[in-house]
Structure 1
Amino acid sequence: MWAELRALGPVPDDLLEDAAAVAEETMVRVSQHVSRLAAALPELGWVSSDRMVRPHQPPTDSDNALVDSLVERVGGLPLSLEACLRHVGEVWFAGDCDLLFLTHHQEPAPTTVPPGPDFPDPLCLGNAYHLAYELEQLDQGDDLTFPLAPDELRKANLSGGTHDVRLPSLHADVELHGVAGRPGITLVEYLRESIAWGGFPGWSFEPELAPEALITLRTHPDF
């Protein structure tokens, strides 16, 4: 279904309602998976790299009201991103966990570059308030590159960049730029890969080296 929606380019008006419904259902399911992982991580001894940020902060009514205004201010959000802001919210799986081989704040920094086993790429997503903040930094008339998440380097406590989406867009899905080893990957594709790997899709590049505890988090995505 998503391949067909992406092939449309800008979504025609007569298909907009159906395409939006697909995006909504997709992100409802993503949110359910994220909630499961967020509850399981602390049980494995995971500790957030930012003690002020919970692993998952679902959207509130105020988030959704803000999204309504952002759609107008940006000039169009891709359906996948809009639904993600409305149903998934903020996600922050970056941190340390011995059982998951996450020791970025305890041991010497990796000397390799992503992708690879030193960079599990824990799932992180900004919410509507992150997008609103980025809008405030723009000069009038500029297009927006929205840093949806830190990149693999920054998640590993190194100097790096971001995973970005370029706005405005009237497409069903949107390319997520800056993901190491995954040129052209879209938001939905990235979330599918991330959920399949228990929130740590970087292990897909070296599956034979993945920690045994990751088995308890992995699943077959239903979206």
Structure 2
Amino acid sequence: MTLLNRYIGGEHKAVWAELLAGVDKDRQPIADADAEAVASETMRRVRANIETIAARLSATGYEFGVYPDGEPIPFSVATLGDTDAADDKTRAFTQLVGALPLSLRAFYRHVGGVCLAGRYGDGETWQGADALWVEPLDTDYIAEQFADWENNVAEYGAEEMGAFMFEFAPDDLHKDNISGGAPYGIELPQGAADAFVANEWHGTTFVDYLRICFRWGGFPGFAREGSMPPQIAVLRESLLPI
């Protein structure tokens, strides 16, 4: 049975663990095509889940594109993937920074970006919700970040600066437009199937971070709030497992 068939059959976590290890359950190396097939299926499900959550939020009067205090956010909901454009951006990105994990490459091809932060029109806010947020690839901005990092490495040394951090989302406090900590990010270059998400409080990989987000209807912050709005049960109902 192929990895993709096993994944579709329900072995989601086991298959991704094998992809991360680079060998299957029989300790055989995993072909690139097999890994890419699983990653693509995973991110197609991610896109479908985002579309479902966004539609359910819209139906209940949720306002996207603003912080809880009403200040505008640069982008909102899903920036849905355009394969050709995504591949061009990813190519430019990897030429500059180096390898991207397979999970991120597949995300940008099939999804593009997402920001579920917002509020309800009646003033109801979800402080601490830590909304699912992955910024689209902006190669110009990343080039500026990378140039700054290179300059700092030249001045302070590689050991002091560490690896280049690709920042893909603000932390949970900044998502509420409150001063907080470092952005969620992934150290690059990394050519593995998946990668650890730095500064995010679950301490897990990118795919598992998405999995946790969907477990909470796109708002994983409610896992530590002690209670959750009744809408969360509706938002997470029957989402596709990843």
Give the counterpart of 2:133 among 101, 124, 131: 124
- Is the 8 Å Cα contact of residues 70 and 132 (structure 1) preserved in structure 2? no
Query: Aligned pair 1:2/2:10, yes or no?
Result: no
Give the counterpart of 1:215 among 221, 226, 233: 233
For the residue of structure 2 that corresponds to 1:175, the secondary structure is coil
Residue of structure 2 in register with 1:176 after alignment: 197
Off by >6 Å, runs of 4+ in structure 1: none
Take 2:186 and 2:99, find their aligned partners in 1: how far apart are those partners? 13
Residue of structure 2 in register with 1:153 after alignment: 173
Q: Where do 5+ consecutive residues of structure 1 fail to align?
A: 104-117
Residue of structure 1 in register with 2:222 after alignment: 203
1:81-100 to 2 correspondence within 5 Å? 81-97=104-120
Q: Which amino acid aligns with 2:164?
A: L
Deviations for 1:161-220, whole angstroms, at most 9, x for unmatched residues? 31111110011001111112x12x1000010111121110111234x5111111110135
Take 1:101 and 1:120, find their aligned partners in 2: how far apart are those partners? 12
How far has the Cα of 1:51 moved from its partner?
A: 5.7
How far has the Cα of 1:71 moved from its partner?
A: 2.7
For the residue of structure 1 that corresponds to 2:103, the secondary structure is helix
- Is the 8 Å Cα contact of residues 99 and 213 (structure 1) preserved in structure 2? no
Deviates more, 1:34-43 or 1:66-75: 66-75
User: TM-score, normalising length from structure 2?
Assistant: 0.75
Q: Where do 5+ consecutive residues of structure 2 fail to align?
A: 1-14, 67-71, 154-162
Residue of structure 1 in register with 2:78 after alignment: 56
How far has the Cα of 1:144 moved from its partner?
A: 2.3
- Identity of aligned pairs, percent? 33
Residue of structure 1 in register with 2:62 after alignment: 46
Deviates more, 1:62-71 or 1:35-44: 62-71
For the residue of structure 2 that corresponds to 1:32, the secondary structure is helix
Give the counterpart of 1:19 among 28, 35, 41: 35
- Is the 8 Å Cα contact of residues 186 and 195 (structure 2) preserved in structure 1? yes
Q: Bigger radius of gyration, 1 or 2? A: 2
RMSD in angstroms over aligned alpha carbons? 2.5
Deviations for 1:132-168, whole angstroms, at most 9, x for unmatched residues? 5223332359642111111100112201231111110
Q: Which amino acid aligns with 2:93?
A: L
How far has the Cα of 1:33 moved from its partner?
A: 0.5
Q: Which amino acid aligns with 2:221?
A: G
